[in-house]
């Protein structure tokens, strides 16, 4: 039995990009999964397929849940990977979104299945989202690091290259599978302050959304996520100020971040042409009548 369960077949996807995020080890502060869910909600994405969990999950580690329906019927909800289509009418491409818990077993088989799905849908590029714990302060802009497959340069998409070596998760394995299959792919990772790792981090999710926009060429209204980010920064700052030891630690992180920024190569910053292209793309995707009123000063 094929573990990929089609509920419908999406028609007319335009130059689709497949975006993947998984909860668990790859998802510090729930940032990657939250970013993907936000993009899906913004595009009104609809589910068209699932991956049967039987072959890929350890149900003792990722347990199914019982719920009561109609006040008497007990129903089991199994962990699963869900696949959605998201249409972006004012962009030049649509999105396929794949989300769910990190599988427990058979990662190579699972990754080949995802690559086969991408090829069946005519996907032109795959983007994986992840979030990692790092020695970074919550007060600074979120750092995004990444890997671009097939010899691509990370500077082209404005992210820092990663030199990480060590244990990996399904995101790393899936990215490698895309490379082996000759599928263009990008892996984006947000840095999450380790001292607030237990709390959901909308600021890191917003940073992933913004970088994803530039990589795949879409734009979503992130006002809700921006508001959540402001609340998050305010609440974390209050908590840090209440603990002198933590506050001193954060100040050391801020100093280290300032020193690192002072050493940055100016050539690594986005050029004026790149910024202009991004702004023009943003205006096009807002749709007729939604652009800024230059004459009125809005």
Question: Residue 71: what are its φ and ψ, rounded to 5°?
Answer: 65, 5
Task: Give residue 141's Cα distance to chain centre.
Answer: 16
Q: How many residues does the chain have?
A: 298
The number of beta carbons lying within 10 Å of the beta carbon of residue 104 is 18
Is residue 132 classed as helix, strand or coil in its secondary structure? strand
Closest Cα partner for 27 from 128, 96, 111?
128
Question: 100: number of CA atoms within 13 Å, CB side?
Answer: 22
150 near 211, Cβ under 8 Å?
no
Question: Residue 295: what are its φ and ψ, rounded to 5°?
Answer: -65, -35
- How many helices and strands, by DSSP H and E, does the chain display? 7, 11
Tens digits of residue pLDDT in 222-237: 999 999 999 999 999 9
How far is residue 124's CA from residue 159's CA, in Å, rounded to a whole number? 21
Retrieve residue 203's tokens: 């600021």
Question: Residue 266: inside a domain, yes or no?
Answer: yes
Question: Residue 230: inside a domain, yes or no?
Answer: yes
pLDDT for res 293: 35
Task: Give residue 279's Cα distance to chain centre.
Answer: 21
Is residue 165 classed as helix, strand or coil in its secondary structure? coil
Question: Residue 276: inside a domain, yes or no?
Answer: yes
Domain that holds residue 249: 4-286
90 near 287, Cβ under 8 Å?
yes
76 near 64, Cβ under 8 Å?
yes
State how many domains the chain has: 1
Question: Residue 146: what are its φ and ψ, rounded to 5°?
Answer: -170, 175
Four-CA torsion 7, 36, 232, 135, nearest 10 degrees = 130
Retrieve residue 240's tokens: 């840090």
From first to last of its 298 residues, the chain has per-residue pLDDT tens of 789 999 999 999 999 999 999 999 999 999 999 999 999 999 999 999 999 999 999 999 999 999 988 878 889 999 999 999 999 988 999 999 999 999 999 999 999 999 999 999 999 999 999 999 999 999 999 999 988 876 566 777 888 888 778 899 999 999 999 999 999 999 999 999 999 888 899 999 999 999 999 999 999 999 999 999 999 999 999 999 999 998 999 999 999 988 877 765 554 444 444 434 444 444 455 454 444 333 333 2
Question: Residue 89: inside a domain, yes or no?
Answer: yes
* Domain CATH number, residue 44: 3.40.50.10900
Question: Residue 292: inside a domain, yes or no?
Answer: no
Measured at the CA of 293, the angle between CA 269 and CA 223, to 5 degrees, comes to 60
Question: Residue 202: inside a domain, yes or no?
Answer: yes
In this prediction the pTM is: 0.84
Question: Residue 179: inside a domain, yes or no?
Answer: yes
DSSP H helices in the chain: 31-42, 107-120, 170-180, 202-216, 223-241, 244-262, 272-286
Cα distances (Å, whole numbers) of residue 253 to 71, 136, 207, 258: 52, 6, 19, 9
Question: Residue 298: inside a domain, yes or no?
Answer: no
How far is residue 158's CA from residue 1's CA, in Å, rounded to a whole number? 42
């Amino acid at each position: 039995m094929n573990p990929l369960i089609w509920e419908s077949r999406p028609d007319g996807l335009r130059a689709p990009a497949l975006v993947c995020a998984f909860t668990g080890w790859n998802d510090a502060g729930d940032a990657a999964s939250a970013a993907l869910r936000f993009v899906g909600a913004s595009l009104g994405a609809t589910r068209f397929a699932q991956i049967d969990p039987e072959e890929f999950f350890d149900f003792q580690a990722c347990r199914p849940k019982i719920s009561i329906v109609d006040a008497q019927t007990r129903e089991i909800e199994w962990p699963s990977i869900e696949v959605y289509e998201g249409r972006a009418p004012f962009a030049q491409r649509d999105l396929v979104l794949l989300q769910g818990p990190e599988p427990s077993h058979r990662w190579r088989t699972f990754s080949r299945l995802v690559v086969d799905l991408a090829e069946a849908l005519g996907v032109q590029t795959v983007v994986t989202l992840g979030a990692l714990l790092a020695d970074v302060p919550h007060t600074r802009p979120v750092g995004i690091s990444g890997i671009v497959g097939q010899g691509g340069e990370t500077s082209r998409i404005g992210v820092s290259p990663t030199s990480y070596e060590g244990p990996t998760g399904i995101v790393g394995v899936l990215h490698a599978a895309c490379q082996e299959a000759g599928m263009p792919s990008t892996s984006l990772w947000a840095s999450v302050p380790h001292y607030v790792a237990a709390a959901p981090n909308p600021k890191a999710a917003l940073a992933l959304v913004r970088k994803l926009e530039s990589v795949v060429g879409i734009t979503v209204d992130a006002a809700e996520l921006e508001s959540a980010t402001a609340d998050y920064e305010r609440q974390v700052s209050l908590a840090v100020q209440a603990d002198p030891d933590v506050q001193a630690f954060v100040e050391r992180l801020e100093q280290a971040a300032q020193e690192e920024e002072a050493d940055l190569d100016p050539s690594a910053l986005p050029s004026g042409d790149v910024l202009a292209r991004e702004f023009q793309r943003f205006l096009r995707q807002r749709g007729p009548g939604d652009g800024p009123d230059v004459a009125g000063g809005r």
